[in-house]
Chains A and B, each alone.
Chain A
Amino acid sequence: MRVSEQWLRDWIDPQRSSAELAARLTMAGLEVDRIEPAAPAFEKVVVGRVVQLQPHPDADRLRVAAVDVGDAEPLQIVCGAPNVAVGMRAPTALIGAVLPGGFKIKPSKLRGVQSQGMLCSAKELGLAESSDGLLPLPADSRPGQDVRELLALDDALLEIELTPNRGDCLGMEGIAREVASIERRDFRPFPVEPVEPAVDAVFPVTLRDPADCPRYIGRVIRGVNPAAETPLWMRERLRRAGLRSLGPLVDVTNYVMLELGQPMHAFDLNRLTGGIEVRRARPEDRLELLNGVVVEPDAETLLIADHAGPLALAGIMGGEISSCTDATRDVFLESAFFAPASIAGRARRYGLQTDSSYRFERGVDAQLQRRAAERATRLLIEMAGGEPGPIIEAVSPEHLPVQPAIRLRPERIRKLLGMDVSAVEVEHILRRLGMVVAVEADGWRVIPPSSRFDITMEADLIEEIARIHGYERVPSNRPLTRLAMSPRPEAQAPLERFTETLVQRGFQEAITYSFIDPAFQKVLDPEREPLALANPISADLAVMRTSLWPGLLKALTHNQKRQQSRMRLFEHGLNFVPTADGLRQEPYLGGVAVGLALPEQWGLAKRPLDFFDLKADVEALLALTGEPEAFTWVAAPHPALHPGQSARIERAGTVVGWLGALHPRVTQILDIEGDAFIFELRLADLQAARTPVFRDLSRFPASRRDIAIVVDETVAAQAVYDCIHQRGGELLRNVYLFDVYRGKGVPEGRKSLALGLILQDFSRNLTDHIVEETVSGILAGLTEQFDATLRV
């Protein structure tokens, strides 16, 4: 809602600066978004009267005007405007004037003719986006008068962001009431005197759908002057609210909407047939709207129709066929109440958002229609003459909103606000807001005004009291509450430990969009059909991720194109996986790495990252569960991963995640440079931690035996470990793999594994004999299972 401060001050003057007024409105819940001048700065522009007009000797389109600006001699001004005419008054920029944009007026010659100033259009004064001629000023304006003064342009426009519940403030009257309340002044509604009918012309109105339209007021006005003009003051007020002047009939309805908040419509009476019907649309209905669009309204849409067909989308926009024109003499004015639910959403359905629908959606005062009709009638008659008929009212009282009587108790105020507000203050606040307040034994009974249909219960009243009394006056307390601990399960490793581990290991956190490019999805996770947005913001953000990889890899390529060759990124967040049992939204932790294993540095040879570097990072994460041995690494294919460098990570048979080298084909499609390694883990499986259990330390020394065995290439290290652990039994405390060797001394197709075995007993010193026995037991097992030979 754009509010002219001048207009507001005409109504109620808070005696404060614009900034103060804006701050107080904001603090009362009407947020003033910005304050703008009603017109850009310009100076030395006065009323000029064209006293004489001659053709320009050397230019067909220019004329030479003599302009009276109140001085003894008229000025000679060259003008190209088509509407310049003798007797016309127009803004005249004098020599030395500065127009918006810093344009200075100097004496000049136009095609050889001296020009001592400039006649101005609205556009040239910054009062309109476009103009097709000079801005005509009222015939009674005095030549020489400052145009800023004449048009009262030194005004500020307050742009107020209204919340949807405050439909009552979509008119100056509502804003004025708020200001009065904030300023603790009594508010008097705008006085509207009924206009006595001059003729008995009526036009029948029928409410076919009284729930949607419980009240419809109409009025016939005959014989308005089609040549009448909207007075300057009204045009200015409309302009400042962002509305164009479209002739007295439309201007009056718009003006009353701005003034009182009641959207209205004017029909050309002679283009109506039979009578008005307010009804839902029927299948055969077609309607050409004022903006030229033809709509076929659906059965949910409320129409204003006559006996010949639809006239208007109720509360949204009028139709072309019944609209007023320059020739209209007889008018039918509409001032109706439409239930918000019958208008809400309809305008958007037709791609329309009008000042009218905006108000009806939020709610219009259901008692306002008659006042608005009387006000519009009076304004129209003053401007364009005409003879009004009587008010026609079609109403269904049982469908009108009920004004509730709400109980209000002081102890509820105290309890809700945490402070006392005196009874006097409570009553003053509510009465200034237009409420009827009756004192009762334990408090009050309050009836809000019909404009405040948003107030329906005690808490609403208390909120109003707080708002007007001032939030700043509510004390700042600390809540008293019962202390209760919240659980912190030991068997649940906090997420921060995992993220911190990655950060310490050189990973940078990323936050990428949850919606991704379907093409990325198809490349990285082709086997799952992602959840698609019905209205994506763009084609490359159209489906919900089933994996963190697409987002991370996109970030990776983005950074690679910005000279970052070594990167380690991680992200945690939900993946969205459609399943037969519905959508699974589960948190995952994923990472990508590319480039050198370590940052380029002195004293270390450059080495590209490999699988085992990232595996160490993942193992560090698994270790945080307290039982890294519970996880198994299984060589398994994944569509996004290199078939020979891809591991599925499992815990007790459940897939926890994947680690691998990005498939070279994927690398190529995604335009990634170098070999990228990626992992992703399901957080629930990762966070399930083992509660530590105390175990004694052995007091006896440990023995180490190193063995080197030769096995086939195909033997997995994990299998060797498993065999050693199984054969080593209790005494085997640890196994280190410290070398993997192929080459001289080892047959083709075989590899040598060097292992350190640590043996220790809890109850005795290990003798050489026992150690030898255990080691040979292990060797026997390895030979049996893998055809291993001892390498000497």
Chain B
Amino acid sequence: MEPLPELLLSAQTAIDRAGDLAALDQVRVLYLGKKGALTERLKELGRLPAEQRREAGQAINEAKQALETALAARKAALETAALDARLAGEAIDVTLPGRGQQPGGYHPLSRTLARIEALFARIGFTVAEGPEVEDDFRNFEALNIPPHHPARAMHDTFYFDAHTLLRTHTSPVQIRVLEQQAPPVRIIAPGRVYRCDSDLTHSPMFHQVEGLLVDEAVSFADLKGVLDDFLRHFFERDLAVRFPPLLFSVYRTLRRSRYSVRDLRRRRLPGVQAQRLAGSAGLRHGASSRIRQGRH
């Protein structure tokens, strides 16, 4: 019978040579299985003289433990190697593009309008909308642009009949809001407007935003403040803002609107209309000049 140290040595060699988990298990069976070499030794202990038994038993157990430790270590090493091999085989090119639908996008006008709306919403302006096929009264007369007024010539209006037209500006929304709502009013009116004019720099349909602030104690200085704020936040730059009174005609004509004067007087807010209309004129220009589609 082979001495224990040699047995251990050959077992260790077999463990080291085991190339996979199955081979390793065969080694385990060979030495520690029911009929394994070490198991056989344990069985034979009984045949030894009593005084040798204890010592021999201890030696066998130590050898068994050493063998189990070596088996476990080898098993862990083999498992790690197997996982490494698997992972290496599963490597992918992470720079390949992802699969599936790709997102679309918004029209630049929508993005801009949404941004303007969001900024004004932060100071309590709500969005007001109105029809695009408008009546002559709300598009012109209520804004004190009677038939044949020279301002109409600048509007290049699309007509359906004598009284129905495509709105040339978003201002009729103001009229509609004031028909419905008592002050205070804080609205912006974005939307499509139409002018019968088309060339490289003019689109017959374009977008405007205008605003309306009606309250008892608002002034032209407040309008300036709101516009200043808006422009700085819209462009996210500390702009030097100029206020040339360019759209004076709208301001003037609006302000004289008999319609709205009456309306506001009825609500006993004398003098409010001027701020209201100043507000409309200024906002209209300040805000719309940036986003009007190809129209200046």
Contacts and interface: CB of A to CB of B under 8 A. Distances in A.
Nearest to A470: B243
Nearest to A300: B148
Given A29-B245, A502-B104, A576 B133 contact: yes
B189 to A, nearest CB: 14
B105 A164 contact: no
A552 to B, nearest CB: 13
Interface in B230-267: 242-249, 251-253, 255-256
B201 to A, nearest CB: 14
B103 interface: yes
A163 B213 contact: no
A173 interface: no
Interface in B204-243: 204-205, 213, 215, 217-222, 224-226, 228-229, 242-243
A26 B253 CA distance: 20
A782 interface: no
B226 A478 contact: yes
B106 A503 contact: yes
B219 A27 contact: no
Contacts of B222: 418, 477-479
Contact of A416 (B109, B114, B220): B220
Interface residues of B, number: 70
Interface in A331-350: 341, 344-346, 348
A227 interface: no
Nearest to B226: A479
B56 interface: no
Contacts of B132: 514, 574, 576, 585
Interface stretch (B29-37, B40-48, B65-73, B93-101): B93-101
Contacts of A585: 131-133
Contacts of A576: 132-133
A603 interface: yes
B46 to A, nearest CB: 57
A364 B160 CA distance: 33
B225 A477 contact: yes
Nearest to A507: B104
Contacts of A166: 248
Contacts of B253: 165
Contact of B124 (A346, A467, A483): A483
B271 A509 contact: no
A417 B104 contact: no
Contacts of B242: 27, 472
B200 interface: no
A533 B160 contact: yes
Contacts of B217: 415, 480-481
Contact of B150 (A164, A484, A531, A538): A164
Given A163-B249, A341-B148, A472 B243 contact: yes
Contacts of B186: 481
Nearest to A416: B274
A361 B153 CA distance: 11
A474 B220 contact: yes
Contacts of A163: 246-249, 252
A97 interface: no
Contacts of B147: 345
A568 B104 CA distance: 8
Interface string A24-52: 00111101000000000000000000000
Nearest to A506: B101
Contacts of A416: 219-220, 271, 274-275, 278
A537 interface: yes
B151 A418 contact: no
A462 interface: yes
A419 interface: yes
A361 B221 contact: no
Given A479-B215, A544-B133, A164 B154 contact: yes
Contacts of B160: 531-534
B126 interface: yes
A216 B243 CA distance: 41
Contacts of B154: 164
A534 B161 contact: yes
A246 interface: no
A658 B206 CA distance: 28
A482 B274 contact: no
A160 B124 CA distance: 38
A476 B154 CA distance: 31
Interface stretch (B16-24, B75-83, B172-180, B191-199): B191-199
- Name A's interface SS: loop
A456 B126 CA distance: 33
Interface string A438-468: 0000000000000000101101101100110
Contact of B99 (A459, A537, A601): A601
Contacts of B271: 412, 415-416, 459
Interface string A524-544: 000000011111111001001
B217 to A, nearest CB: 7
Contacts of A463: 248, 251-252
Contact of B246 (A31, A348, A544, A583): A31
A362 B149 CA distance: 8
A605 B149 CA distance: 65
Nearest to A29: B245
A419 B221 contact: yes
B86 interface: no
Nearest to A343: B148
Interface in A485-537: 486, 496, 499, 502-511, 513-515, 531-537
B213 A479 contact: yes
A27 to B, nearest CB: 5
A164 B149 contact: yes
Contacts of A27: 242, 244-245
Which residue, of A341, A503, A514, has the highest number of chain B Cβ atoms within 10 A? A514
A475 interface: yes
Interface in A55-110: none
A687 B110 CA distance: 19
A275 interface: no
A148 B43 CA distance: 132
B110 A509 contact: yes
A515 B249 CA distance: 29
B105 A475 contact: no
B159 interface: yes
B102 interface: yes
A165 B252 contact: yes
A362 B152 CA distance: 12
Contacts of B256: 456-457
Contact of B104 (A26, A466, A509): A509
Given A412-B271, A511-B107, A474 B218 contact: no
B102 A506 contact: yes
Which residue, of B109, B110, B148, B256, has the highest number of chain A Cβ atoms within 10 A? B148
B246 A541 contact: no
B248 A165 contact: yes
Contact of A509 (B107, B166, B248): B107
Given A165-B252, A418-B221, 10 more contacts: A419-B221, A474-B243, A476-B224, A477-B221, A478-B229, A499-B106, A531-B133, A576-B133, A585-B131, A585-B132
8 contacts: A27-B245, A165-B248, A463-B252, A466-B245, A479-B225, A511-B107, A534-B158, A598-B101
Interface of A: 26-29, 31, 163-166, 341, 344-346, 348, 361-362, 412, 415-419, 454, 456-457, 459-460, 462-463, 466-467, 471-472, 474-484, 486, 496, 499, 502-511, 513-515, 531-538, 541, 544, 568, 570, 573-574, 576, 583, 585, 598-599, 601-604
> Which are the 8 A-B pairs with shortest beta-carbon distances?
A418-B221, A418-B219, A345-B148, A344-B148, A163-B249, A479-B222, A29-B245, A164-B150
